[in-house]
Chain A
Amino acid sequence: MKRLSKHTNKEIHKLFLSFLLMILLTALAFFLVLYQLISPPFLIVLITFFALIQIVIQLDRFMDIREKEGGYRLTSLIGGSFVALLAIVFLILL
């Protein structure tokens, strides 16, 4: 029983750390934009990078994308993202 509760705390601790990191990245991006501390092109690259880290945390820690099934989950997501990317590029070029 003790072992179980120790394990529970550790797992919740991990989830909480992921959540904290996401809030920190969001807050950092927010303040960088609010006070325009960096020149625009670099700022856009930086906040996009922050968003990417958050997406990876969600997919890896909360959505178990690496779990079993020989990568079908990731393949499905990459397939969708590829089509979406093509749509975005063509819509912008239109």
Chain B
Amino acid sequence: METMSTQMHLNHKQAQMNILAFWFLIGAEVVVFGCLFGIYLAVKSLTGQGPTPNELFKLNEIMLSTVVLLTSSFTCAIAVYFLNLSKKLLTLLFFLITILLGLAFIGLEIREFTLYVEEGAKISTSAFLGAFYLLLGTHGFHVLFGVIWISLLLVQLWLKGINQETAPKLFIASLYWHFIDVIWVIIFTIVYLIGKV
């Protein structure tokens, strides 16, 4: 058992089934986010007494959040690369950097929302803001969930090492993390960039 490589752990039938099941979950998550994007696009011009997207968004700060999350996706890919090589400490290190960047992203998002609310742009101010906070909040919650999930898996990795149990779990968590990043690329483009055009 100890001599099995990570690739063998990941190619194990049960692991392959788990990974496939997770892809089905990603398919369902695409529908959830699709609905939230649909709501946002349908009501984004209904700004009422509140600010318009163009008045509200500060692109420089959003660009920083984007770079932080893209970098975390890269460090997550590096972590999986070391997982495949069965290098426990390097896997741990790069997943740790990934969750720290995830926490930084959440911090930046909380700061952004606080600034907006101080400017009077609350969730109840207009339909646009309601849909905006719903979409961004759902994404932010996914990032937070990913941070907690990967943290718990890292404890398991530290205690048990890379084995049949931990390797597929870490690989699946990495898929989740990249998926969150894909959603952010769409949010950055549709909500922020097109909101500023």
Measured CB to CB, the residues of A under 8 A from B are: 8, 11-12, 15-16, 18-19, 22-23, 26-27, 29-30, 33-34, 36, 40, 43-44, 47-48, 50-51, 54-55, 58-59, 61-63, 68-69, 72-73, 76-77, 79-81, 83-85, 87-92, 94
Whether B185 lies near A55 (C-beta < 8 A) is yes
B31 CB-CB contact with A under 8 Å: yes
Given contacts A34-B59, A44-B197, A51-B186, contact A16 B74 (CB under 8 A): yes
Contacts of B76 in A (CB 8 A): 62
Q: Kindly list 11 other residue pairs between chains A and B, CB separation below 8 angstroms, not including A40-B197, A72-B23, A91-B39.
A: A18-B74, A19-B70, A23-B70, A26-B185, A30-B59, A51-B185, A80-B27, A84-B34, A84-B38, A88-B35, A88-B37
What's the minimum C-beta distance from A27 to chain B, rounded to whole angstroms? 8
Q: What is the CA–CA distance of A19 and B37 in the complex, to the nearest angstrom? A: 26
Given contacts A29-B189, A58-B182, are A72 and B194 in contact (CB under 8 A)?
Answer: no
A19 to B81 CA separation, bound complex (whole angstroms): 14
B155 at the interface (CB under 8 A from A): no
Which secondary structure dominates chain B's binding surface? helix
Complex interface: chain B residues within 8 A of A51 (CB)? 185-186, 188-189
**Which of these binds chain A: B99-107, B111-119, B173-181?**
B173-181
Q: Please state if B193 and A77 are interface contacts (CB–CB under 8 Å).
A: no
A9 to chain B, nearest CB (A): 11
Report chain A residues within 8 Å CB of B28.
80
A8 to B70, CA, bound (A): 22
Task: Please give the number of chain B residues whose Cβ is less than 8 angstroms from any Cβ of chain A in the complex.
Answer: 45
B22-50 interface code vs A (CB 8 A; 1 in, 0 out): 01101111110111011101100000000
CB of B189 within 8 A of CB of A47, answer yes
Q: Is B83 engaged at the interface, CB distance under 8 Å to the other chain?
A: no
Point out the residues of chain A lying under 8 angstroms from B26, CB to CB: 76-77, 80
Q: Is B162 an interface residue (CB 8 A)?
A: no
